[in-house]
Amino acid sequence: MTICATEDTMTPAGPLAGRLTIAADGSYAARLARHDDAAGSWFPERWTLSGPEPYAVPLQGTQPEEPDSALLPLTDGRVLILRRVADRFAVSLLYPAGPGTGELLLGAVATPRLTLLPPAPGGTLAYALAPEADHTTLWRVHGGANGPERVTRIPGRCTGGAWLDRGGRLLALDRELDGRTKTVVVDLERGGETALLLQITEESNDRLLLADPDSGLLLLRSDAPGYDRLGWGVLGSSLPVRFPECLRPTGGTLTPFAVQPGQMLAPESCAVAFRMTATSGTWLGVWRPSERQLRQYPAPEGWLPGTGLWTADGELLLPYATEAEPCGVARMGVPGVPREVVEPVERVRAVGAVRPMGPMGPVRQVEPLRTAGQVEPTWAGAGRPMGPMGPHPSAGPEQRPAQPPVEPLEPLEPLEPLEPLEPLEAVEGPPSGEAAESGGGIVPDAGDADNRSTASAQPSATDAEPQHIPGHPQMCRPVPLQEAPLAARQTRWSVISGPVRISGGGCAAG
């Protein structure tokens, strides 16, 4: 919910009677109502909007109010009233007290003109502007330690007012200076520092009408196109301000008064409510930047023009007052942005219950299979099979089935000696890093000394046999015929790369 204070509603000399002001959280509202007596005197009236049904409570005092008295509801249920008394303005708080009305005087501001700003976020503080000839004073009329406090003095004449954040720190004002009107932002946490917020061109008059803190959507009026037009932009965006043709009605005026909240970072999806005024009457307009069209709806009977609020669900609430119902709220559901139709997803057949697997038993060691004619390998200096699959020392003698005797194989013919290999040509380029010193491996990145690389799995070439590997036996057993080609290939590889350890079998003589 966003409440806009346009320049025509904040004119100090104009009557404010009948205008309804809604609190920052939408819980309460306040206005000047009129008695049914012959004099037609005015009295403050507070509306409660947070309950199931709205209702009004009169806050009349001992004397009638002037029609130019300004009201501002707070979120705690009290109503701030600003009365003109001679050459100053008295600030008081009104609240229900039994059958009557309680009043607490906060203080007075000595100034010829004083206008209330829209309710600050949080609903506990209240600010007002006191424009003078060459500057404007910003006052905190409620929430200070000792009554009304002066916040800052701003060069130029300031009007309007819109809050740019939910914390109540950034306040946007329209400042007229040197014949031009530009929107400036006031930082209340830095002693009232001001900075330029809106300037389309140096020669244009740019005014901010409405601001939504959630999405950053800004509604403005500027004569940069050549005459006054309504435009929109996004706070903090580098995109230019756009002036839609649909916001340029003929024979009437448009005034934004509420924007849909909760559209975080989605300004084009925000719905904006307009009051449309023409000679034929007053009605309602709803617009979204993404739709690029202005939808028009008839206003409810007795609608208090320029008053309303949006809910997060996209429902527009419009207060109204008639003779039959002096306190009512019309709810209007505005169609949202049409969404793309998504094809339904086919249902997947449910899978049956999966039977859980039981606990696994202990792992039993399996005896390796041996084929006929296979000779058990031996190792130099050991007389028993090697490896984890051999018998445990504590076990008894191994029981093996009787096997037929193995006939000795005829010895193989000696292989022809291999021709010496041609030396490889060295790769041009100087070696670098630790790889050049070690003769192989992975070269770490020069830009990262600790790259945690894994060393190469290929063994580096050596000129001598490693000491931890036993040397080849001089006398080798015959190799079966089916292993002769493999032995030949292993011998060739041994010639190239040096001594190779062959696991699980014998060594073929080269």
Residue 305 has pLDDT above 50, yes or no: yes
Poorest-confidence range of 13-27, 162-176, 304-318?
A: 13-27
Position 262 confidence tier, pLDDT thresholds 50, 70, 90: confident
> What's the pLDDT band for 249 if we cut at 50, 70, 90?
confident
Per-residue pLDDT at 62: 83
Sign of CA dihedral 29, 71, 255, 125: negative
What integer is the mean pLDDT of 178-203?
95
The Cα-based distances of 251 to 248, 257, 277, 279, 477 in angstroms read: 10, 20, 9, 8, 114
- pLDDT higher than 50, residue 494: no
Let me know the angle formed at the C-alpha of 181 by 176 and 184, rounded to the nearest 5 degrees: 85
Look at 15-24, 239-248, 375-384 and tell me which has the smallest mean pLDDT.
375-384
Q: Token pair of 394, please?
A: 């504590």
DSSP strand pairing (193-198 vs 206-211): unpaired
pLDDT tens digit sequence for 78-136: 999 999 999 999 999 999 998 899 999 999 999 999 999 999 999 999 999 999 989 99
User: Which of 265-269, 389-393, 458-462 ranks highest by mean pLDDT?
Assistant: 265-269
Please list the alpha-helical segments (H only) found in 386-476: 433-438
Q: Is the pLDDT of residue 197 over 80?
A: yes
Which pLDDT belongs to residue 111?
95
What is the predicted pLDDT for the residue at 74? 97
pLDDT at 431 (0 to 100): 45
Q: State mean pLDDT over 207-212.
A: 96
At position 336, the amino acid (one-letter code) is G
* Residue 12 pLDDT: 37
The answer on pLDDT for 483 being more than 90 is no
468 CA to centre of own chain: 63
pLDDT interval class at 505 (50, 70, 90): very low
Over range 450-467, report the average pLDDT: 47
Mean pLDDT of 46-71: 92
- Collapsing DSSP states into helix, strand and coil, what is residue 186? strand
37: which 2 tokens? 């007596």
At residue 437, the pLDDT reads: 44
434 phi and psi angles, rounded to 5 deg: -70, -20
Q: Which residue has the higher pLDDT, 406 or 435?
A: 406
pLDDT higher than threshold 60 for residue 434: no
Q: What is the mean pLDDT of residues 3-17?
A: 43
Q: Which residue has the tokens 């244009």?
A: 204
Give me the pLDDT at residue 403, please: 55
Q: In this predicted structure, what is the pLDDT of residue 363?
A: 56
Which has the higher per-residue pLDDT, 30 or 389?
Answer: 30
329-343: average pLDDT: 67
Cβ-contact 123, 25 below 8 angstroms: yes
Q: Model confidence at 205, in pLDDT bands (50, 70, 90)?
A: very high
Higher pLDDT pick, 99 / 508: 99
* Cα 61 to Cα 213: distance, rounded to the nearest angstrom: 37
**Mean pLDDT, all residues of the chain:** 76
Residue 35: band (very low, low, confident or very high) from pLDDT cuts 50, 70, 90: confident
Average pLDDT over residues 229-251: 92
pLDDT at 178 over 50: yes
Higher-confidence residue: 191 or 379? Answer: 191
Distance between start and end Cα atoms, the chain: 93
| HSE (side-chain half, CA atoms, 13 Å) at 350 | 3
Is the predicted pLDDT of residue 369 greater than 60, yes or no? no
Mean pLDDT to the nearest integer, 275-282:
93
Can you tell me the distance from the alpha carbon of 129 to that of 150, in angstroms, rounded to the nearest whole number? 10
- Mean pLDDT computed over 367-384: 47
Q: How far apart are CA 140 and CA 211, in angstroms?
A: 21
Give residue 16's pLDDT.
58
- Residue 184 CA to residue 291 CA, distance in Å, equals 30
